[in-house]
């Protein structure tokens, strides 16, 4: 049995790395972008397309699945893969991100044990702490399971972040002691918000605990762009070198490049499918634009991005996609999501190739426009 994670190549100049994660449901080649299947399906995109886009792992949200349909029915079906029919690896988050967003809206009560909250679907009171989160994720059966952490808002004050760092550490310890299924791998999460010393403290405490991988959490939750990038570039390198490094919840192309450059291996974000539902797509510079924008000319016979090899760009003109969007034809959400997922996945594939071919610095130079 190969080890869980192997580094195949490291760029000697930047420290960017290419590796492999071995799971029971398949190998994940890193660096990798993970599409988000919030409720057990990537919004608007079927699994066959997700496979064709060569996604290698998808993320599902524990909070959404525990509220409905409940982990019992997914467990009864044989776990996430059997239930959803996505046969590749799954990662589940801890549910913490969603329940703490309730807390920020005053709809939840947090203490050192966990969070009590009223769900937004049925109005029932729930409690999730580290053991509850582990138990739900154990029953969901994902290959990678995230520790239950406290994720404060990007603008939270120092005292709030200090408490979150302490709880995240205590809860991480409980999570590491929780017996998961044999095939499951626990990742721990570093918090600390935008406070450098608290990030350092959290990193030191969390990486003392043994886990299969480590993640940076609470990044891009309302801080400025400079603050986001500072945390990514300062902290990623300090995570253990021989374990996968995951930056949670970032999905702007620029973030992926800064992340890989800083030595990160995994990323996830709802952005590619979320912006698609509003007519948004990643343009040449990988910033996003909308098909309904004024300068988006009707008689434009070009694809969304000239030269893009995605199924949408190889088939349709911008004019046609704009028409579908304005007439609310639901297929347009699929076409735009496919383009957006393709762009992010291929960005990670291109970086992997560049690392292997000893030309990651050249890749950066060539793609500087993506960083502007």
Catalytic residue numbers read: 93, 268
CB of 339 to Zn ion, least distance (A): 4
Closest to Zn ion by CB, 139 vs 339, is: 339
- If one counts every other C-beta atom within 10 angstroms of the C-beta of residue 84, the result is 18
Q: Please, where are the H alpha helices in the chain?
A: 47-52, 62-67, 71-77, 80-84, 96-104, 130-140, 158-177, 196-208, 225-235, 253-261, 271-276, 311-315, 318-326, 331-356, 360-366
Handedness of CA 188, 24, 60, 46 (dihedral sign): positive
Closest to Zn ion by CB, 294 vs 314, is: 314
Closest to Zn ion by CB, 151 vs 313, is: 313
CB of 4 to Zn ion, least distance (A): 34
Please give the Cα distance from 151 to 138 (Å, whole number).
21
Closest to Zn ion by CB, 134 vs 313, is: 313
- Torsion angles phi and psi, residue 188, rounded to 5: -100, 160
CB of 326 to Zn ion, least distance (A): 20
CB of 310 to Zn ion, least distance (A): 3
On the 0-12 / 13-18 / 19+ scale of CB atoms within 10 A, 330 is: exposed
| Strands ordered across the beta sheet of 26-30 | 5-10, 17-23, 26-30
Please give the Cα distance from 243 to 263 (Å, whole number).
11
| Owner of token pair 């347009």 | 332
Closest to Zn ion by CB, 238 vs 339, is: 339
Closest to Zn ion by CB, 233 vs 283, is: 283
Assign residue 223 a region: left if phi > 0, alpha if psi is -120 to 50, beta otherwise?
beta
CB of 318 to Zn ion, least distance (A): 11
Closest to Zn ion by CB, 101 vs 283, is: 283
CB of 46 to Zn ion, least distance (A): 18
Q: How far is CA 96 from CA 93, 228, 317, in A?
A: 8, 20, 41
- If one counts every other C-beta atom within 10 angstroms of the C-beta of residue 336, the result is 28
Structure token pair of residue 243: 């374990």
Transcribe 304-342 into DSSP letters: SSTT--SHHHHH--HHHHHHHHHTT-THHHHHHHHHHHH
Residues that bind Zn ion (CB under 5 A): 308, 310, 313, 339
CB of 145 to Zn ion, least distance (A): 33
């Amino acid at each position: 049995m190969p080890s869980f994670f192997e580094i195949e190549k490291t760029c000697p100049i930047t420290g960017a790395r290419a590796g492999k994660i071995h799971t029971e449901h398949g190998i994940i080649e890193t660096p990798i972008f993970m599409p988000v299947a919030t409720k057990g399906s990537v919004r608007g995109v079927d699994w066959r397309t997700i496979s064709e886009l060569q996604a290698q792992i998808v993320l599902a949200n524990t909070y959404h699945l525990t509220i409905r349909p409940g982990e019992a029915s997914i467990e009864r079906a044989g776990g996430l893969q059997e239930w959803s029919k996505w046969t590749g690896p799954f990662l589940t988050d801890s549910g913490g991100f969603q329940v703490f967003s309730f807390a920020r809206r005053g709809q939840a009560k947090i203490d050192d044990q966990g969070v009590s909250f009223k769900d937004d679907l049925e109005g029932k009171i729930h409690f999730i702490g580290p053991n509850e989160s582990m138990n739900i994720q154990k029953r969901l059966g994902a290959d990678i399971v995230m520790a239950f952490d406290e994720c404060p808002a990007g603008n939270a004050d120092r005292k709030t972040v200090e408490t979150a760092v302490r709880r995240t550490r205590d809860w991480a310890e409980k999570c590491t002691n929780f017996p998961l299924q044999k095939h499951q791998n626990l990742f721990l999460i570093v918090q600390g918000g935008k406070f450098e010393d608290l990030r350092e403290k959290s990193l030191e405490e969390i990486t003392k605990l043994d886990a299969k991988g480590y993640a940076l959490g609470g990044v891009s939750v309302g801080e400025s762009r400079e603050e986001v990038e500072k945390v990514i570039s300062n902290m990623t390198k300090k995570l253990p070198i021989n374990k996968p490094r995951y930056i949670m919840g970032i999905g702007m192309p620029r973030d992926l490049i800064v992340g890989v450059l800083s030595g990160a291996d995994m990323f996830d974000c709802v952005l590619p499918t979320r912006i698609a539902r509003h007519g948004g797509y990643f343009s040449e510079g990988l910033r996003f634009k909308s098909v309904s924008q004024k300068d988006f000319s009707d008689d434009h016979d070009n694809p969304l991005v000239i030269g893009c090899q995605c199924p949408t760009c190889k088939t349709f003109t911008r004019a046609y996609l704009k028409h579908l969007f304005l007439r609310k034809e639901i297929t347009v959400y699929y076409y735009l999501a496919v383009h957006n997922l393709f762009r992010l996945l291929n960005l990670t594939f291109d970086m992997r190739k560049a690392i292997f071919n000893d030309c990651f610095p050249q890749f950066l130079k060539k793609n500087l426009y993506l960083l502007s």
